[in-house]
A and B are shown apart, each in its own frame.
Chain A
């Protein structure tokens, strides 16, 4: 009982014949071959599969592909523009907000929605804001720093230092 669907991902249309039970994350990875979106768990806990659906962050492992028909999906591959990387992509690199890189796409897309809703979040708001996204490498300090950096960039303010801070 396959069904042909078309999904709009990063502005491009992907048409595939799928089973209705196909998870959106699998459609994105397998059918659209956009493998930046990752799978880190089977209980909707880790957020490595986070994408934006009509601008709202969602865990794509917890949505059926057919539910996303007619919506605008953004994955990590759609973050950069012709002008260059998104401020979050720049912020994560400049502030060492990633190590293995596996949580990074989901983390950045979640942060994107966070910054659009709350352009100047406090550290605590950022920590709660990304609490649906697990990272096993960074200890989160530099992810927080990366999001603060991106926020400043998006607001057009002076960028905070990206030098690591050490106890003297």
Chain B
């Protein structure tokens, strides 16, 4: 259970403190990037390609330049002069900022119009005439690897195919041997389709280059402002934009979900335009641009296999991935992990051998891959292992819950070494699943299901018992463009005992302003309401790697606790000086040091506020005045939160409409900082698990045209589709984390889709259906049943 050691007034760990950030948001006083208003701002709009793959024969800007208000049209040729027409990606590939001769996907940036008004820029965009020579697009990743497929990246010298990289991990031969000899082998081909985060705020920026002072201020929707500052310096240092002259400000962000990690061409063009013109340039993309051109998520084709005994013991797994990365590998991964953390795909189960391999391929689609609460490809990994575990249970005729209990890593096995090289920190999977089963009345549901099946009614129960891996990560293995994946906290306490604290992460709604304050409150006893938290301004916040992959609590959360502990050490020294005792004679109780045995004697104790005041007014000789500390935290390991999810669906036998009747989610993220905020993350994450399971997919035709690039047909769930989520916790702290906390933000999106898919497949079990690719829609069920020949008579008969 979640426990609080501090009073409600202090609101340390475990309190459901109401959020400090809410007041400005509910009054419309948030400050998002499109709210930034600077004198003389110009507006940028982007001309985009109507073709997936085409040569650019000519760009005629004559008419556009006649449009009232239009000042400039920027093309790839203009950027080429400054060597800014291409930029590096996080995976050491290259991405076009603006093309000089070829477009590689539909909606790709082709030119940018700069005008004095927003509407003028749009008019200018419509007036730019681009002459294209369309070519046959490569859309299917399997076809992209065929020998006669056209080579897309002709810009890469010596590149003779569309293959990007091959990756593998595990024990190939041992695994193969087990598969050859196993009693039971199951195999499914799965596509985890391309989807999109669709944060309600799209991406955008205001690039403000000040020619006189040679200084760039960049307001932008970024989840990693410091890394972006460094990237800008690396890309544009040669034109004088060195790192100390760049200030990136990530203001309030209207949701990120991984979609605001990458550097998009729009940002770079805006910087270039502001640099050349010397005025602020604002670029705010439309929803359709956001859906069609910004970083996608998933698009993994997975062959998943499991070997086991007839009575349910898993012996090995094997997975083979074909990853569609679009035209460049711009997936936002740590540099040594081209498949992210896909290797966590052995799951929550104990078996000695596994083998995984992946190949990535170029196609005529936008780049991306890592986004949408994926924790670096953990969504794909968990989907594969949880689906194939159910497939195995189906094959041997055992209940999927029983198979899971039989194979769980037991709580005394932690730290557990997985066959793919991870050291899981802690877990109690049995307790989690038992709690979820009790909450949902699993046995009762199975009985109900048996009754319904006799009547031909379609009811399904799906499980997902997943292990996450979040908090990248230890410097030995984890870096972004060479920068180690630490994170940081800087706490400064004012003379009157109130504090300002800044972090290297960047909230996009996750409540950092509240929860980081709670961590410091726990450690120092200063009320969380007296601690102002800031992130996102690279001039003021300590360097960090940003917020994504549920890393904030594992990294900056740890840094907050350690920086606060440094301050507590200093406070102890000051208290000893003030009370004229030795440091060893002092005991700490939240908010004060007291002389041992004299807890209730007021003159024998000093509150943190008194101590801090003394740090400015009466500090011991030889000690530095003031009261502040910084910590850059290099995590020793990642954290491995887990969850047990159970979904119950009812499917209409006539229309195949799927209704999620109940969804129970038991999460274990170790010690919880703020249960209310954690629960909010789970609700939102579950809805973003429902979405790809049942509604969302970016669909391309064979010519590479996107078929659903707007909110009219890219189906983001409303309040009507979203079920009333039921949530709870078990608490298994991370042993290596300073406050025993693990990340949680992405667990629900990782865990929910297989629970839903498993439930739907379970409902269709009587009709011989063993797998359906997500999103599972009524039409997909209809087609599957038709193929099985069971639609000739009504299902309900």
Give residues in A with beta carbon < 8 Å to B: 19, 21-22, 26, 29-30, 33-43, 45-46, 48, 75-77, 79-80, 85, 89, 92-94, 96, 98-105, 108, 123, 126-128, 130-144, 163-164, 166-168
Given contacts A36-B28, A96-B676, contact A143 B719 (CB under 8 A): yes
Whether B26 sits at the interface, judged by CB under 8 Å, is yes
- Shortest Cβ distance from residue B755 to the other chain A in the assembled complex, whole angstroms: 15
Asked if A138 and B680 make an inter-chain contact with CB atoms under 8 angstroms apart, the answer reads yes
Cα A40 to Cα B186 with chains together (Å): 44
Given contacts A92-B22, A100-B200, contact A37 B28 (CB under 8 A): yes
Asked if A141 and B724 make an inter-chain contact with CB atoms under 8 angstroms apart, the answer reads yes
Asked if A99 and B510 make an inter-chain contact with CB atoms under 8 angstroms apart, the answer reads yes
- Shortest Cβ distance from residue A16 to the other chain B in the assembled complex, whole angstroms: 13
Would you give the 0/1 interface string for B470-504, flagging 1 where the beta carbon is closer than 8 Å to chain A? Answer: 00000000000000000000000000000000000
Would you give the 0/1 interface string for B718-750, flagging 1 where the beta carbon is closer than 8 Å to chain A? Answer: 111010111111000000000000000000000
Would you give the 0/1 interface string for B101-134, flagging 1 where the beta carbon is closer than 8 Å to chain A? Answer: 0000000000000000011000000000000000
Task: Please count how many residues in chain B sit with their CB below 8 Å of the partner chain's CB atoms.
Answer: 71
Task: Identify A102's interface contact among B201, B286, B711, B720, CB under 8 A.
Answer: B201
Stretch at the interface among B32-40, B379-387, B653-661: B32-40
Whether B199 sits at the interface, judged by CB under 8 Å, is yes
Would you give the 0/1 interface string for B679-723, flagging 1 where the beta carbon is closer than 8 Å to chain A? Answer: 111111111100000000000000000000011100010111010
Set of chain A residues within 8 Å of B426, measured between Cβ atoms: none
Asked if A101 and B30 make an inter-chain contact with CB atoms under 8 angstroms apart, the answer reads yes
Set of chain A residues within 8 Å of B712, measured between Cβ atoms: 43, 45
- Shortest Cβ distance from residue A130 to the other chain B in the assembled complex, whole angstroms: 5
Given contacts A38-B200, A102-B254, A141-B683, contact A96 B724 (CB under 8 A): no
Asked if B680 and A96 make an inter-chain contact with CB atoms under 8 angstroms apart, the answer reads yes
Task: Identify A42's interface contact among B288, B510, B511, CB under 8 A.
Answer: B288
Cα A94 to Cα B18 with chains together (Å): 6
Set of chain A residues within 8 Å of B26, measured between Cβ atoms: 76, 85, 89, 92-93, 98, 101, 104-105, 108
Asked if A166 and B675 make an inter-chain contact with CB atoms under 8 angstroms apart, the answer reads yes
Q: SS class of chain A's interface: helix, strand, loop or mixed? A: loop
Set of chain B residues within 8 Å of A128, measured between Cβ atoms: 719-720
Task: Identify A105's interface contact among B28, B677, B720, B729, CB under 8 A.
Answer: B28
Cα A101 to Cα B253 with chains together (Å): 9
Given contacts A38-B201, A142-B683, contact A101 B719 (CB under 8 A): no
Inter-chain pairs besides A85-B27, A132-B718, A135-B200, 5 sampled, C-beta below 8 Å: A45-B716, A102-B509, A127-B722, A137-B509, A144-B724
> Can you list 29 A-B contacts with CB-CB less than 8 angstroms, sorted by A residue number?
A22-B119, A34-B28, A36-B27, A38-B34, A38-B201, A38-B254, A39-B34, A43-B710, A45-B710, A45-B716, A92-B26, A93-B18, A96-B18, A96-B676, A99-B511, A100-B256, A101-B509, A102-B32, A128-B719, A130-B718, A131-B720, A139-B680, A139-B684, A140-B718, A164-B16, A164-B679, A166-B679, A167-B666, A167-B726
Set of chain A residues within 8 Å of B252, measured between Cβ atoms: 100-101
Set of chain A residues within 8 Å of B439, measured between Cβ atoms: 167
Would you give the 0/1 interface string for B9-52, flagging 1 where the beta carbon is closer than 8 Å to chain A? Answer: 00000001011011111111111101101000000000000000
Whether B198 sits at the interface, judged by CB under 8 Å, is yes
Set of chain B residues within 8 Å of A98, measured between Cβ atoms: 22, 25-26, 509
Set of chain B residues within 8 Å of A35, measured between Cβ atoms: 28, 31-32, 34-35
Q: How many A-B residue pairs lie within 8 Å, measured between CB atoms?
A: 204
Task: Identify B728's interface contact among A105, A138, A142, A168, CB under 8 A.
Answer: A168
Which 5 pairs from chain A and chain B are nearest by CB?
A36-B28, A100-B509, A101-B25, A102-B254, A167-B728
Return the chain B residue nearest A77 by Cβ.
B28
Set of chain B residues within 8 Å of A33, measured between Cβ atoms: 37
Whether B255 sits at the interface, judged by CB under 8 Å, is yes
Would you give the 0/1 interface string for B196-227, flagging 1 where the beta carbon is closer than 8 Å to chain A? Answer: 01111110000000000000000000000000
Return the chain B residue nearest A130 by Cβ.
B719
Set of chain A residues within 8 Å of B711, measured between Cβ atoms: 41, 43, 45-46, 134
Set of chain B residues within 8 Å of A36, measured between Cβ atoms: 27-30
Return the chain A residue nearest B256 by Cβ.
A100
Set of chain A residues within 8 Å of B687, measured between Cβ atoms: 138-140
Return the chain A residue nearest B439 by Cβ.
A167
Cα A166 to Cα B724 with chains together (Å): 13
Task: Identify B680's interface contact among A29, A43, A142, A163, CB under 8 A.
Answer: A142
Cα A137 to Cα B286 with chains together (Å): 19
Task: Identify B23's interface contact among A45, A93, A103, A139, CB under 8 A.
Answer: A93
Whether B664 sits at the interface, judged by CB under 8 Å, is yes
Asked if B21 and A21 make an inter-chain contact with CB atoms under 8 angstroms apart, the answer reads no
Chain B, range 620-640, C-beta contacts under 8 Å to A: none
- Shortest Cβ distance from residue B530 to the other chain A in the assembled complex, whole angstroms: 19
Cα A123 to Cα B664 with chains together (Å): 19
Cα A132 to Cα B244 with chains together (Å): 45
Cα A134 to Cα B200 with chains together (Å): 8
Whether B287 sits at the interface, judged by CB under 8 Å, is yes
